């Protein structure tokens, strides 16, 4: 699918909301309304740096009912390949960026009888938009927000004002922790659970829910993996007849794109499976970092998600 369609936006406000998180407000350069979307959607933000292009996914946190602007929250990543640093350090009010149309890989189940949202840290962002959809009153809901300390709790004033006692806060600094067993053991039939945040939180919710007998269809999670850095390696694109070097701080997908070969993608975070690519030859180890392939598929080594995965080998040939 073509990636050509992007929207030109301008940064109209930036707010430092925690020591690590900046809140960006974007509006269309032509002043028109931005496309409607559903809570849980993300956009790909295209950042044109001096020497490279970053394409990073960020959840939309603004209300789906207010399309004059989009809002995203960006956490400065310690081990950033540069995308979040670029947004934090180079982008100012008035900067122009390109974004792709919203895609929702983390939608609310509209048939749910009750919605339970569990956020960890920056994982609060998709829920901020979903809460606006939940205000239509079709199902009761509650939000559990776990964060390092009050100082690091982004968007607290907004949550307190709009959600009141439907938000429960848990601060690590005050030794408060979500009682996963208590929370998940006492929900009415038809409840759906959503979790977004660090891998540890997601695993905790999923394993607890599965142990308590929750059906998989009622459990939802989203964790965008930033493409991990790693050792340099070389890849051969069989159909394009190209050999491409993957630098330590570039992803496989970025390196392929820089060589002029288009790979279809949606999330660039190891979630959607859209960039799944056939591995024709590999003489070493594939370093799978995605959440899409099953463990069996990862072991088989016939496919790779170039958006987040790498390889440790001398010879890797892809069907591209």
Partner 1 sequence: MNAAVRPLAFKPNETFRDDFIFHNSPEAIRRFPMPFPNDEYMYSVNIEPHVAGAAGSVLEHAFDVDEHYIAECRERAIVLAAEPLRFQALPHMQSAQWDCLELLMDSLARDYPEHFSLTKRGNHWHWINRPLGIDQQFVFGDLASLPHQPLDYITRQTQGDFVVMDQRDGDLWIQAGMVTTPADWSLDFDMGMTFKEWHGPVPLAHEMNVFDRALKYLLNLRLGQPVRRLNWTLTIHPRLDTSPEAFPLWGPTRTTVTPQNAGDLVHLRVELQGLWRLPRSNAVVFSIRTYFISMRELVTIPKWARRVHRVVKNLHPVLVDYKGLTRYRDALVEWLAPFDDGTPTTPGTAPE
* Residue pair 305/273 in contact by the 8 Å Cβ criterion: yes
CB atoms within 10 A of CB 191: 20
The residue ranges that bind partner 1 (CB under 8 A) are 1-2, 5, 35-38, 40-41, 64, 101-104, 107, 109-111, 138, 217, 266, 272, 274
Tokens representing 139 are: 């199902």
Q: Which is nearer to partner 1, 101 or 300 (CB)?
A: 101
Tokens representing 205 are: 């919710």
Q: Which is nearer to partner 1, 100 or 143 (CB)?
A: 100
Q: Which is nearer to partner 1, 266 or 311 (CB)?
A: 266
> Which long-range contacts does 78-84 make (Cβ < 8 Å, 24+ apart)?
79/226, 79/228, 79/229, 80/226, 81/54, 81/226, 81/227, 81/229, 81/249, 81/250, 81/251, 82/49, 82/52, 82/54, 82/249, 83/47, 83/54, 83/56, 83/226, 84/56, 84/226
Q: Which is nearer to partner 1, 3 or 229 (CB)?
A: 3
Burial 273-306 (b: 16+ CB within 10 A, else e): ebbbbebeebeeebbbbbbbbeeeebeeeebbbb
Supply the minimum distance, in Å, between the C-beta of residue 320 and partner 1.
19
Q: Which is nearer to partner 1, 107 or 228 (CB)?
A: 107
Tokens representing 8 are: 């030109």
Supply the minimum distance, in Å, between the C-beta of residue 74 and partner 1.
22
Supply the minimum distance, in Å, between the C-beta of residue 1 and partner 1.
7
Q: Which is nearer to partner 1, 101 or 314 (CB)?
A: 101
Supply the minimum distance, in Å, between the C-beta of residue 132 and partner 1.
11
Tokens representing 148 are: 């390092």
Supply the minimum distance, in Å, between the C-beta of residue 285 and partner 1.
28
Measure the CA–CA gap between 209 and 166, rounded to whole angstroms.
21
* Residue pair 166/75 in contact by the 8 Å Cβ criterion: no
Supply the minimum distance, in Å, between the C-beta of residue 110 and partner 1.
4
């Amino acid at each position: 699918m073509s990636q050509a369609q992007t929207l030109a936006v301008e940064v109209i406000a930036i707010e430092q909301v925690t020591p690590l998180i900046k809140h960006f407000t974007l509006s269309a350069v032509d002043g028109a309304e931005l496309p409607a979307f559903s809570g849980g959607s993300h956009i790909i933000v295209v950042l044109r740096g001096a020497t490279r292009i970053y394409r990073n996914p960020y959840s939309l946190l603004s209300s789906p009912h207010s399309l004059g602007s989009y809002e995203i929250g960006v956490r400065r990543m310690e081990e950033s390949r540069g995308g979040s640093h670029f947004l934090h350090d180079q982008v100012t009010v008035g900067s122009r960026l390109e974004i792709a149309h919203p895609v929702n890989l983390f939608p609310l189940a509209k048939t749910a009888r009750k919605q339970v949202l569990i956020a960890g840290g920056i994982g609060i962002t998709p829920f901020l938009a979903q809460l606006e959809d939940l205000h239509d009153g079709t199902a009761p809901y509650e939000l559990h927000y776990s964060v390092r300390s009050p100082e690091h709790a982004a968007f607290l004033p907004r949550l307190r004002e709009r959600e009141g006692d439907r938000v429960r806060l848990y601060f690590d600094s005050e030794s408060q922790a979500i009682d996963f067993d208590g929370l998940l053991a006492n929900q009415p039939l038809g409840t759906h659970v959503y979790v977004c945040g660090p891998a540890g939180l997601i695993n905790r919710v999923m394993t607890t829910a599965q142990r308590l007998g929750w059906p998989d269809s009622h459990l939802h999670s989203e964790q965008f993996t930033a493409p991990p850095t790693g050792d340099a390696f070389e890849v051969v694109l069989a159909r394009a007849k190209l050999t491409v070097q993957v630098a330590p701080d570039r992803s496989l997908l970025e390196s392929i794109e820089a060589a002029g070969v288009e790979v279809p993608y949606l999330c660039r975070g190891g979630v959607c499976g859209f960039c799944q690519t056939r591995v024709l030859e590999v003489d070493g180890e594939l370093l799978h970092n995605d959440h899409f392939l099953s463990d069996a598929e990862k072991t088989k080594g016939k496919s790779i998600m170039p958006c987040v995965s790498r390889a440790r080998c001398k010879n890797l040939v892809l069907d591209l």
